[in-house]
Structure 1
């Protein structure tokens, strides 16, 4: 199949173009992105070969990270955990004092 058009309005169609590691964060009680939608997103990420981490918070609703105009859905504890996820990703991936990245990350060895 041909690669998706850069002009495609669908984010899922453009996942093969993603060249960076991503952290995806969802609230399980988010009615805007139901279970089936999250399952589709995760499947498309895997099909595309994207490098990503996936986080779902049990009681978080839509807009849980917004501390204003969130209609009572703001959750400061979950928001703090989300920021820690992002700080870890940014600190590891964007860190400049570690030098150039050499080669690709190798396969994971299964060790018990």
Structure 2
């Protein structure tokens, strides 16, 4: 026996520690990941809308009412740059031989 207690540890205590130790760590990791995910969600929701973004859409050959996302233009160079690139891309896609869909841009950031 030592000054702090017995010099031996019973087998059930060791088995309990071996089994529960990883569980406690996994719970802590799970809580940390949940907290990080919640924080990222809040920060994403608080971001101001990017007023200079443009999104390129196209119609579907099978469903004329469909709006299919093609690209989002959100360069830091500003609204004019993004609008011109979106319009140029719509024109290039639309003038392809055999293209049967319509392409257009909207001044909005795409949200799935």
Does TM-score exceed 0.5, indicating one fold?
A: no
Structure number with greater Rg is: 2
More helix by share: 2
Q: What's the TM-score once normalised by structure 1's chain length?
A: 0.23
